[in-house]
Amino acid sequence: MKALEGVRILDFTHVQSGPTCTQLLAWFGADVIKVERPGTGDITRGQLCDIPAADSLYFTMLNHNKRSITLNTKDPSGKAVLEEMIKRCDVMVENFAPGALDRMGFSWERIQELNPAMIVASIKGFGPGPYQDCKVYENVAQCTGGAASTTGFRDGLPLVTGAQIGDSGTGLHLCLGIVTALYQRTKTGRGQKVSAAMQDGVLNLCRVKLRDQQRLARGPLEEYSQYGEGVEFGDSVPRAGNDSGGGQPGRILKCKGWEDDPNAYIYFITQAPVWEAICDVIGEPGWKTDPDYATPKARLPRLNEIFARIEEWTQTLNKFEVMDILNSRDIPCGPILSMKELAEDPSLRATGTVVEVEHPVRGTYLSVGNPVKLSDSPTEVLRSPLLGEHTYEILSEVLQFDDQAIARLQESGAIGEPAKIAAE
Ligand code: COA
């Protein structure tokens, strides 16, 4: 049995943020029914395509373990089908542009009328306020949530990160809200609205920078490199390059081969409790007792010099050799792993964090599996559905429509053609 077995999700999500949330729910065992527009479906099916006529990796990697029904929810008979689904599902998840669900005729009040136990979970770009009506994508959220202003180097542009903290990050937040609401419903019997704004999600992940903003009002941020470099602070948290976000100074340092390999680097942390071990490893035993180096406070203005010395040592070895030596002495570090290295990593394959998935049109592809492991609810990653693959199955089994009713829906154009492969 799976943790969320018996929970049925009406998945009205598209692109990335919403689908990451419903994919997690599916991995935890919920029956996730993805409602898509006939003909086109989720726009990502056709974006960044690498194999002609196959659903893109963008789509397949975000929609595992779901069923797909095609339904024109603006058509009167399509709306009637959606109403029946609302009555039979536990949770509706959506990330349409603000107001789209209301325009379709499914306001919170209407959904409550149809099913007072339904949880309606929404992702929007912004919460209530001046920007509430804006459409938002990943990088907009990174820029407006505090990530971009605090990422990059002091003398460069604000930077967005490769980690999709706006989309996938908010999907995670929403997922937690949904399971929490499901838990509360076991006591109240009532549904509720669950909202996660992408700006809020990014700001939550940038919490430490808001911490530093307040510390800045009381003096310079001594653990930032610019302090040691004698550069004055302005009135807001600066970009801090690869400085550690916490109290243990860290940097990315070159390893052997960095001239040719863009990822021959390691993140090195000068954690205070292992300072003596660091001094031994890099061949500076005198720094253990020298008052200029012996305490964290004394080291702060000298971090550039200290990391330059450590880098002299890291450059003599490749990143994995550095890691082996440091790990054996409990010194925290992180080699910069490329996507190629991660894709090929046998330990990630063994835990199911990287999985190979079989798809009838595209063949075998790699995906990230469920990063959250439950001992009593293991995840089996199943391929994403083809567009409308389960339309007939859902109409007949979940809604108990007979063949004539389904034929009428097909004639009216409210449901699309079933996917070719499914039909075969
Ligand atoms: N049948 C009929 N119509 C459908 C449908 C279906 N099955 N599914 C969607 N639609 C309609 C919607 O009702 C909407 O119609 P309307 O504009 O007439 O009200 C229309 O399709 C387009 O939806 P919308 O959400 O506006 O898509 P978009 O491509 O213009 O915008 C986003 C995309 C992501 C910018 C926008 O959805 C958004 O801001 N979402 C919230 C934030 C978010 O999640 N962003 C990150 C995405 S990774």
Look over the chain and give the mean of its residue pLDDT values, rounded to a whole number. 96
Q: Is 0.85 surpassed by the pTM of this model?
A: yes
Nearest CA, atom 7, ligand 1: 37
Which pLDDT band, with edges at 50, 70 and 90, does 423 fall under? very low
Nearest CA, atom 19, ligand 1: 100
Whether residue 196 has pLDDT greater than 70:
yes
Whether residue 245 has pLDDT greater than 80:
no
Looking at residue 185, what is its pLDDT?
98
Strands 91-94 and 193-197: unpaired
Tell which residue, 175, 179, 195, 188, has the closest CA to residue 117.
188
Element of type H or E holding 173 = helix 167-188
Looking at residue 338, what is its pLDDT?
98
Nearest CA, atom 15, ligand 1: 100
The rounded distance, in Å, linking the Cα atoms of 166 and 263 is 25
Q: DSSP letter string over 193-248?
A: EEEEEHHHHHHHHTHHHHHHHHHHTTS--TTSHHHHTTPPP-SSPPP-TT--SSSS
Q: Ligand 1 centre from 101 Cα, in Å?
A: 9
Q: Ligand 1 centre from 74 Cα, in Å?
A: 13
Q: Ligand 1 centre from 96 Cα, in Å?
A: 4
Nearest CA, atom 14, ligand 1: 100
Cα–Cα distances (Å) from 374 to 4, 235, 324, 370, in that order, read 12, 45, 30, 10
Nearest CA, atom 13, ligand 1: 100
Whether residue 150 has pLDDT greater than 60:
yes
223 or 321: which leads in pLDDT: 321
Q: What is the pLDDT of residues 346-377, one digit of tens each?
A: 999 999 999 999 999 999 999 999 999 999 99
CA dihedral 288, 291, 297, 299 (to 10 degrees): -60
Q: Which two tokens stand for residue 311?
A: 């880098």
What average pLDDT does this structure show over 301-330?
97
Residues shown for the chain: 424
Q: Is 313 left (phi over 0), alpha (psi -120 to 50) or beta?
A: alpha
Confirm if 244 and 250 have CB atoms less than 8 A apart: yes
C-alpha angle with apex 417: 57 to 358, nearest 5 degrees? 30
Identify the weakest region by mean pLDDT among 49-63, 68-82, 237-251.
237-251
Atom of ligand 1 nearest to the CA of 99: 19
What positions carry a catalytic annotation?
Answer: 167
Q: Ligand 1 centre from 13 Cα, in Å?
A: 9
Which residues line ligand 1 at a C-beta cut-off of 6 Å?
A: 15-18, 35-37, 71-74, 95-97, 100, 103-104, 123-125, 135-137, 167
Ligand 1 pocket mutation, candidates 69, 82, 96, criterion most atoms within 8 A of CB: 96
Q: Which two tokens stand for residue 139?
A: 């990088």
Other beta carbons within 10 angstroms of residue 16's beta carbon come to: 24
The rounded distance, in Å, linking the Cα atoms of 149 and 131 is 19
Q: Ligand 1 centre from 280 Cα, in Å?
A: 58
Helix spans in 217-290 (H): 225-228, 275-282
What average pLDDT does this structure show over 129-148?
98
Q: Which two tokens stand for residue 258?
A: 């960095």
Atom of ligand 1 nearest to the CA of 70: 7
Tell which residue, 217, 188, 163, has the closest CA to residue 368.
163
User: Distance of alpha carbon 79 from its chain centroid, rounded?
Assistant: 31
Q: Which two tokens stand for residue 292?
A: 């200029």
Q: Ligand 1 centre from 83 Cα, in Å?
A: 19
Which pLDDT band, with edges at 50, 70 and 90, does 126 fall under? very high
Q: Which two tokens stand for residue 308?
A: 């330059």
Looking at residue 246, what is its pLDDT?
81
Ligand 1 pocket mutation, candidates 135, 168, 175, criterion most atoms within 8 A of CB: 135
Atom of ligand 1 nearest to the CA of 71: 7
Looking at residue 418, what is its pLDDT?
62
